Amino acid sequence: MMKTIDILCGDVLFAEMLKCELEARGYKASTQKSTAPDLIICDLDAGVSVKGPFVLTFSRDKDADLHRPFDIKELLSLIDEKLSDKSNTPLIETKKSGLYLSPYERGAFYNEEKIELSELEYRLLLYLYNNKKASIDELSREVFGEKSNPNLVRVYINYLREKIDSRFSVRLIKTKRGYGYILGGATENDTD
């Protein structure tokens, strides 16, 4: 799978040059911020500041991963190093909802705004995403363990609804009566 790299740089010509170099080496490069890049290259001199485990920075005089001017081989070496550290799991993005999960940060984003999640909230949301729908017993067993109480699932679903549905005025987590929960698009049998 082709890796996506965002280049956030104040120097448009330099950014385009980097983009051409990266695309020639098999990467998908963009000079604009995309939804879920595998790596972001930031120009600190242009006032661009992005934090995260998969960010490469460059600058003429500030503390950065690379100091400009730099050799393209040095950049490619750092890119390979950063991408090899990364989990093989891509960012998971739902197609309609604007929600995506970051396995690297154990968090979620809705319309590019970060949602802090506990480990259990993340695992619950990930399970719902991967399975689209799940019964309370299934969630209890798969996310919380064999001996967990099904009420724990309801409590954590409410936590997720507070963090996502209430905060962003959306209904991403739906209750299916007599079954359990569904993530994403509603059907006529869904309720709050």
- Tell me the pLDDT tens digit for each residue of 131-175: 878 999 999 988 887 778 889 999 999 999 999 888 888 888 999
- Burial track 73-95 (b if 16+ CB lie within 10 A, e otherwise): eebeebbeebeeeeeeebbbebe
Write a three-state SS string for 134-191: EEHHHHHHHHHCCCCCHHHHHHHHHHHHHHHHHHHCCCCEEEECCCEEEECCCCCCEE
Assess whether pLDDT exceeds 50 at residue 96: no
Tokens representing 165? Answer: 């549905």
Say which CATH number the domain at 15 has: 3.40.50.2300
Q: Do both 74 and 117 map to the same domain? A: no
pLDDT confidence of residue 2: 77
Largest CA distance in the chain: 63
pLDDT confidence of residue 89: 44
The DSSP bridge pattern shows strands 55-59 and 4-8 to be: unpaired
pLDDT confidence of residue 137: 92
Assess whether pLDDT exceeds 90 at residue 51: no
Whether pTM > 0.85 for this model: the answer is no
The DSSP bridge pattern shows strands 173-176 and 180-183 to be: antiparallel
Say which CATH number the domain at 185 has: 1.10.10.10
How far is 176 from 99, CA to CA, in rounded Å? 20
Per-residue pLDDT, averaged over 47-75, amounts to 81
Q: Do both 11 and 74 map to the same domain? A: yes
Q: Point out the domain boundary residue: 85, 107, 131.
A: 85
Given pLDDT bands bounded at 50, 70 and 90, which one contains residue 94?
A: very low
Q: Do both 81 and 169 map to the same domain? A: no
Number of independent structural domains in the chain: 2
According to the per-residue pLDDT averaged within each range, which of 77-86, 93-102, 120-129, 152-161 is highest? 152-161
